[in-house]
Amino acid sequence: MRDAFIQMPDERDHVLAQILNKNWAELEALEHAGYLLFPEKLFKRRKDGKFEAISVIMRVPREPERRAARVEARQRAQADGLDPQLDSDLIEELETISILWRAIRSPTPPYEPFTADAAELERVYDRPCLMQAYAKLDALHRILDPAPSSMTEGEMLALISALAKERSVLPLAVFGPGARDSFVITMAERLLTLTGSK
Query: Cβ atoms within 10 A of the Cβ of 47, count?
Result: 5
For residue range 98-144, list pLDDT tens digits in order.
999 999 999 999 999 999 999 999 999 999 999 999 998 988 887 78
Question: Do 138 and 188 belong together in one domain?
Answer: no
42 near 54, Cβ under 8 Å?
A: yes
Residue 2 lies in a domain: no
Ramachandran assignment for 117, one of left (phi > 0), alpha (psi -120 to 50 degrees), beta (any other):
beta
43 near 53, Cβ under 8 Å?
A: yes
Q: Computed from CA positions of residues 87, 91, 96, 101, in that sequence, does the dihedral angle turn out positive or negative?
A: positive
If one counts the domains in the chain, the total is 2
- Mean pLDDT over 170-175 rounds to 78
Question: Do 176 and 88 belong together in one domain?
Answer: no
Question: Do 67 and 121 belong together in one domain?
Answer: yes
Helix (H, G, I), strand (E, B) or coil at 94: helix
- Mean pLDDT over 174-188 rounds to 79
Q: Which domain holds residue 63?
A: 10-144
Q: Output the pLDDT for position 76.
A: 95
Residue 4 lies in a domain: no
Question: Do 133 and 175 belong together in one domain?
Answer: no
Give whichever of 26-35, 72-81, 158-167 has the largest mean pLDDT. Answer: 72-81
Residue 114 lies in a domain: yes
Phi, psi of 28 (to 5 degrees): 55, 50
Residue 1 lies in a domain: no
Question: Do 67 and 98 belong together in one domain?
Answer: yes
Quick check: 4 pLDDT over 50? no
Residue 60 lies in a domain: yes
Residue 3 lies in a domain: no
